[in-house]
Amino acid sequence: MGSKMQNTLIIIRGPLGVGKTTISKILAERIGAKHISIDKLLEDAKLDRVDPKLGCIPVANFLAVEEDILEDIKKFLERQSVIVEGNFYYKEQIDFFAKNLKHEKMFVVTLKAKLETCINRNRKRGGILKDKDVQEVYALVKRFDSSFVVDVEGKTREQIVEQIQKGMRA
């Protein structure tokens, strides 16, 4: 149904419970992109531990995972788009890709919702994390936005994906 966007690195960022994974998977299927979850890679590498002094996962952990997947992303981008999704609460994470991929087609999307929405979505999926954790990540992600922001409140998954695709074509 949707048009293929070739060779585009798409970063989808936002707080816990905003719908990053769901939206990323739908978009990846629609445009024939490879989907990569930074959160899953952190978990698999056992780098998803919060530093008590920082109150969050250190930027070095995110960058280590990104370094590990960099060559794979380069290979994927030779033949298809790549969607990388995660909280991306450090600008350095996005800067890392911009610097190391030097790919002219990089599109960063920030998904936004009310804190209450994110907390309720986390609870609905079994309350994987405590409300306090959701609040803390929400505050970290809120420190900056990308140039393309999608407010997901009151929108269907389809509407959100369509808005992202329109933004990519603009």
More confident site: 9 or 125 = 9
Q: pTM for the complete prediction? A: 0.92
Domain coordinates in residue numbering, the chain: 9-169
Q: What is the pLDDT of residues 12-54, one digit of tens each?
A: 999 999 999 999 999 999 999 999 999 999 999 999 999 999 9
- Position 159 pLDDT exceeds 80: yes
Per-residue model confidence (pLDDT) at position 3: 45
How far apart CA 144 and CA 51 sit, in angstroms, is 21
Q: Which positions ≥6 away from 55 have C-beta within 8 Å?
A: 136
Count CA atoms closer than 13 A to 55's CA, side-chain side: 10
CATH number for the region 9-169 comes to 3.40.50.300
Q: What is the pLDDT of residues 87-130, one digit of tens each?
A: 999 999 999 999 998 756 899 999 999 999 999 999 998 867 88
- Position 5 pLDDT exceeds 50: no
More confident site: 5 or 156 = 156
